[in-house]
């Protein structure tokens, strides 16, 4: 019962993020099957670009979505081999400095609701980004993001 509830919460988070991306006409693929039958949460601008070896890897963006991180954040490290730097959206309020150090070392960048910023260690507040900053990053990296979100 608990796992079912957590699974629904995870799918709900993905649906909310998808609705945000759809609202702003941001190109993406949700849960595409890529190399080794991996299914990352989100690939920008989409799975076709990801699978096209001639498409520049530096213009690809990965976003994982986890309601809580705990040890599950490590799952994103192994997804989307072409994208070395991973973004992870979470609803978890506060993560230990030790775990944030591990994430930083693994090139996992945390995306959180802006209202959660005060729940995190002070020395990490500048490295955390909110969803709007992530959308700006998408515009800078992928391009063609509508002006209304900037």
Name the residues annotated as catalytic.
50
Rounded CA gap, 128 and 116, in Å? 10
Task: Give how far the C-alpha of residue 38 lies from the chain's centroid of Cα atoms, to the nearest Å.
Answer: 15
- Report the distance separating Cα 116 and Cα 7, nearest Å: 22
Kindly report the CA angle at 62 between 35 and 146, in degrees rounded to 5?
130
């Amino acid at each position: 019962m608990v796992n079912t509830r957590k699974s629904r919460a995870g799918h709900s988070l993905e649906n909310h993020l998808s609705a945000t991306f759809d609202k702003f006409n941001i190109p993406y693929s949700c849960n595409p099957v890529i190399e080794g039958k991996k299914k990352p949460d989100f690939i920008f601008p989409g799975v076709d670009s990801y699978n096209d070896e001639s498409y520049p890897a530096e213009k690809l963006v990965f976003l994982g979505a986890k309601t809580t991180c705990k040890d599950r954040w490590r799952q994103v490290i192994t997804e989307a081999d072409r994208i070395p730097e991973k973004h992870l959206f979470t609803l978890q309020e506060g993560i230990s400095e030790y775990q944030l150090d591990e994430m930083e070392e693994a090139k996992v960048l945390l995306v959180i609701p802006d209202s959660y910023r005060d729940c995190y260690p002070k020395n990490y507040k500048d490295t955390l980004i909110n969803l709007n900053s992530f959308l700006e990053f998408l515009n800078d990296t992928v391009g063609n993001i509508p002006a209304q979100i900037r």
